[in-house]
Amino acid sequence: MNQMYVNIAFGFILSNLIILYTRSKDSRRTPYHLSILFFFKDNWARWIVSLLISYTVAAIVDFNDFTMIPREGMQGFLVWFSVGGSTDTAIHLLNKYTGILTPKSINFKGEKYLRK
């Protein structure tokens, strides 16, 4: 597997960890205590779109000979780490303000959380 695909995954994971730990605990739309299951139910559609876009960009670069875009080394790591993280963050912000990838409600531990 090409190193750039792994670097995209690292950027994607870091972006999600930042989103997870900077969430508003006092919001009525989320449980107070951290729940990975709730986070998964709320974000699965965003993850699919984000990874699809990131890996499509990487595949286009990988299959074509774009010599000015680094694939390996520290420069390659920074480029593809940024692609994974920034794509996910951009889609998160778009989703936050439009709600197109957010479910209307999530049932979790007997409570219904309205998400829109």
Question: What's phi and psi for 4, nearest 5 deg?
Answer: -65, -30
CA separation for the pair 30, 38 (Å, rounded)? 8
Looking at every residue in the chain, the average pLDDT score rounds to: 85
User: Which are the contacts of 89, defined by CB distance < 8 A and separation ≥ 6?
Assistant: 15, 19
Sequence letter at residue 39: F
Strand partners, 85: none
CB 35 within 8 A of CB 108: yes
Share of the chain above pLDDT 70, in %: 94
Q: Which of 53, 61, 50 lies closest to 4 in space, CA to CA?
A: 61
User: Which are the contacts of 112, defined by CB distance < 8 A and separation ≥ 6?
Assistant: 105, 106
- What's the pLDDT score for residue 17? 92
- What's the pLDDT score for residue 116? 65
6 pLDDT above the threshold of 60: yes
62-115 confidence digits (pLDDT tens): 787 776 676 677 777 788 888 899 999 999 898 888 888 888 888 888 888 887
42-60 confidence digits (pLDDT tens): 889 999 999 999 999 888 8
* pTM for the whole structure: 0.80
